[in-house]
Amino acid sequence: MPRESRLPVPIRNALPEGRILEDPATRLVYEYDAWSIVRNPPLAVAFPESTAEVRNLVRACIESGVAWTARGAGTCLSGGATPSGGTCLLIETSRMDRILSLDPEDRIAVVQPGRINLELSRAAAPFGLHFAPDPSSQSASTLGGNLAENAGGPHCFKYGMTTDHVLGLTLVDGEGEVCRLHRDDGLDLCGLVVGSEGTFGVLTECELRLIPTPTAVRTFLASFSSMEAACRAVAKIVSSGTVPAALEILDRLSIEAVEASVFAAGYPKGADAVLLVELDGEEDEVEAERIPVLRAVQSEAPLEVEETSDPEQRARLWRGRKGAFGAMGRLKPDLFVLDGVVPPSKLAAVLAEITAIGREQDILLSNVFHAGDGNLHPNLSFDGRNPGERERAMEAGRRILKLCVDAGGSISGEHGIGFEKIEHLSYLFSPTDLEILGEVRRCFDPAERCNPGKVLPLGRACGEGSSARRPGILPSREREDP
């Protein structure tokens, strides 16, 4: 027998019938994103199709005193798309997946936020263009999510983060108003919104820059008997003035996990580290750049070096890197992926300390990372069913992020703060810094109903005391029985 609706009437009436689901199974499906530590079943899940429908939903939420969280594909690794609490509406953008225009001459695409990243590049491919940001989740993650998190990816070493490829956007702000923002507006509000993790409003359209697809690509795989040697090779490549499209490292445990999985790529199993380098551009450009790359790699006495421009072989080499996080499932049932950044010159030293932290906390720890820009991804594999393991993994994560900050780095390079790192913001920011960030947020969303509890700690940054009494705001760590 159907339950009586818990939804306030304005929300129930904001979309055509059948596009807001509140049954227990749906709410359970959407209770978390790719960071599974915090789980909050939403009040309901809404599926708008246009800017006008999102505006209607947001206005209905405001009228009803309900908070909301926008979600693309839910691939966020920091809890950014996890509902903010049991009385929070989840606005799911998968029905907003159209390419509204694609202009090859001006190299601009206007898309709805639910479009999957890789599908935009596929649509642009016939024109010799592509969308450069390539997070590992690009075959699943949506462009709206990429913008909200300012996603990176292996190729952002050369091409920049998502923010470098956004020309404009449309946002329904925290007051239910439609804001069209453009990079040429003088004040770069558009740039401010990118990476704000849905706390300024809900994205409904994105104007994106496409770039020419390189005509030549060459990929190198070098294996080393020590992580230090691999890191030194990276430093030498970067200081040579060469700008590879990607510079990625996997450590021994990651190599073993990958090679034992369906993502096996032929990485040498005895190596302590493998370095993937990719050069792209025009043929003569790539040919010229391969010389300093090979010189740098050879100077560190590699165990093996493989070089290929064959698309199938390149895909094989990348399969291991892109599938590495999936392969971690072979190690333990739970995975906690960190995202700290350190100055590249400190990579080797910080990695040694990270290994020591893993040992001290008795946690299985592997590393797959964007070496060129010092963006580490320590993977903490654990079994949450074993008493104390989850807690030890969390403690190891906390210590690793603190270590990154102490080394002059940051707690997140591309995954965002979300729920995950909110307690660690104080490593980077003073109370005044957080107060200013809170004020900036409230310029877009005075009542703090857009994805509350993400990016900034509630109460502390706002200077408004605890938000516990406000409905739909605090993350509930208690699983609600659907």
Partner 1 sequence: MTSPLFPGDPVELADLLKEGAAQGRKAFVAGRDSRAGFGADPGPIDLRLRLERMTGFLRFSPEDLTCSLGPGTTLGEFEETLSEEGLAFAPGPFHGCRERTLGGLLAESPPNPRGFDRAHLRSQCLGFEAVDGRGRRFAAGGRVVKNVAGYDLMKLFVGSGGALMAVTRLELRLIALPPVILCLRSDWLPPLEAAGVWRKLRRRLPTPSWLDLVLDGGRACVELGLAGAASHVTELARGSGLRTVAEGLEAWRGGGGTEIPAGGEVRGRVRPSEVGSFLESLGGNARGRIHYQGAFGLEVGYPDSLPPAFRGPPSLEPAAAKIALRLKDRLGGILAPGRLSFRIPRPLPERGRRVR
Site for partner 1 in 297-336 (CB under 8 A): none
**Could you give the angle at which helices 252-259 and 311-322 cross, rounded to 10 degrees?**
110
CB of 94 to partner 1, least distance (A): 24
CB of 261 to partner 1, least distance (A): 27
191 is a site residue for partner 1 (CB under 8 A):
yes
Q: How many helices (H) and strands (E) does the chain have?
A: 15, 18
Among 156, 246, 250, 400, binds partner 1 (CB under 8 A): 156
Question: In this complex, which beta carbon is closest to partner 1, that of residue 103 or of residue 362?
Answer: 103
Q: Which stretch binds partner 1 (CB under 8 A): 60-68, 87-95, 159-167, 385-393?
A: 159-167
- Report the site for partner 1 in 60-119 (rule: CB under 8 A): 103, 105-108
Would you list the DSSP string of 317-377? HHHHHHTHHHHGGGT-SEEEE---B--GGGHHHHHHHHHHHHHHTT-EEEEEEETTTTB--
Q: How far, in Å, CA of 256 to CA of 371, rounded? A: 19
Q: How many CB atoms lie within 10 A of CB 120?
A: 25
429 is a site residue for partner 1 (CB under 8 A):
yes
CB of 41 to partner 1, least distance (A): 27
- Report the site for partner 1 in 337-366 (rule: CB under 8 A): 341-345
Question: In this complex, which beta carbon is closest to partner 1, that of residue 225 or of residue 345?
Answer: 345
Q: Residue 88 corresponds to which tokens in the numbers above?
A: 């929070």
Q: Which of 244, 51, 86 is nearest to 154 (CA)?
A: 244
Direct distance between the N- and C-terminal alpha carbons of the chain, in angstroms, rounded to an integer: 15
CB of 19 to partner 1, least distance (A): 25
Q: How far, in Å, CA of 304 to CA of 97, rounded? A: 44
Among 430, 468, 478, 481, binds partner 1 (CB under 8 A): 430
433 is a site residue for partner 1 (CB under 8 A):
yes
Kindly state the number of chain residues that form the binding site for partner 1, as judged by CB under 8 A: 83
Yes or no: say if 38 and 86 are a contact pair by the CB < 8 Å rule.
Answer: no
Among 321, 370, 398, 470, binds partner 1 (CB under 8 A): 370
Among 409, 452, 453, 472, binds partner 1 (CB under 8 A): 409
Backbone angles phi, psi at 99, to 5 degrees: -90, 115
Question: In this complex, which beta carbon is closest to partner 1, that of residue 226 or of residue 345?
Answer: 345
Burial class (CB in 10 A: 0-12, 13-18, 19+), 402: middle
Yes or no: say if 80 and 70 are a contact pair by the CB < 8 Å rule.
Answer: no
- Report the site for partner 1 in 203-222 (rule: CB under 8 A): 209, 211-212, 214
Among 111, 276, 437, 474, binds partner 1 (CB under 8 A): 437
50 is a site residue for partner 1 (CB under 8 A):
no
Please name the residues in contact with 366: beta carbons below 8 A apart, sequence gap of 6 or more. Answer: 251, 253, 254, 257, 328, 331, 378, 379, 381
Among 28, 118, 140, 235, binds partner 1 (CB under 8 A): 235
Yes or no: say if 79 and 98 are a contact pair by the CB < 8 Å rule.
Answer: no
Q: How many CB atoms lie within 10 A of CB 16?
A: 11
425 is a site residue for partner 1 (CB under 8 A):
yes
Question: In this complex, which beta carbon is closest to partner 1, that of residue 362 or of residue 439?
Answer: 439
Q: Which of 268, 270, 290, 269 is nearest to 279 (CA)?
A: 290
CB of 235 to partner 1, least distance (A): 7
Per DSSP bridges, beta strands 44-46 and 68-71 are unpaired
Angle among Cα 25, 28, 34 to the nearest 5 degrees reads 135
173 is a site residue for partner 1 (CB under 8 A):
yes
Name the DSSP class of 213: P
Question: In this complex, which beta carbon is closest to partner 1, that of residue 43 or of residue 238?
Answer: 238
Q: Which stretch binds partner 1 (CB under 8 A): 88-96, 113-121, 145-153, 386-394?
A: 145-153
Among 71, 441, 449, 470, binds partner 1 (CB under 8 A): 441
Question: In this complex, which beta carbon is closest to partner 1, that of residue 17 or of residue 105?
Answer: 105
In the block, tokens 């496409």 appear at 210
- For residue 201, list its beta bridge partners: 173
Among 69, 75, 93, 375, binds partner 1 (CB under 8 A): 375
Q: Which stretch binds partner 1 (CB under 8 A): 57-65, 67-75, 177-185, 253-261?
A: 177-185
